[in-house]
A = this chain, B = another copy of it.
């Protein structure tokens, strides 16, 4: 695995993951723990709701996005550590059986003003099912800089 430092990132680079399948049991297990609402817990109860059938919690979808991002070829040195999300949208619900993958594009690269050993990259990550976006996340990640050796 290549560890990437701030100097290795440039605007427009894209990174990809493999696929992860989400099934009904994963959807209902996550929902029981974190988002216990009928449209995330039970297929029959979900039919009469805004989702018209069982759908993953948006926070489950976000968590799956993180899993795929960790396994993608983004691989910043020091790990994937976000300082904050600027936007997160869910254009379509995730359904049982969906196979998901992420693609991330670097939007900005900037050194830290206060910390000479680190910087930030702004990344747009899209979670796709059959080429259609189910989640679009724009967030800022802390990335290490290569520390120069003292002469």
- A-side interface residues toward B, CB under 8 Å? 30, 33-39, 49-50, 57-60, 62-64, 66-67, 70, 78-90, 142
Contacts and interface: CB of A to CB of B under 8 A. Distances in A.
A21 to B, nearest CB: 14
Contact of A88 (B78, B81, B88): B88
Tell me if A's interface is mostly helix, strand, loop or mixed. Answer: mixed
Contacts of A39: 79, 81
A66 B35 contact: yes
Given A49-B79, A50-B142, A63 B85 contact: no
A37 B87 contact: no
The count of identical subunits is 2
A66 B70 contact: no
Nearest to A26: B33
Contacts of A79: 37-39, 49-50
A122 B33 CA distance: 25
Contact of A36 (B49, B70, B78): B70
Contacts of A88: 84-85, 88
A89 B89 CA distance: 16
A70 B49 CA distance: 16
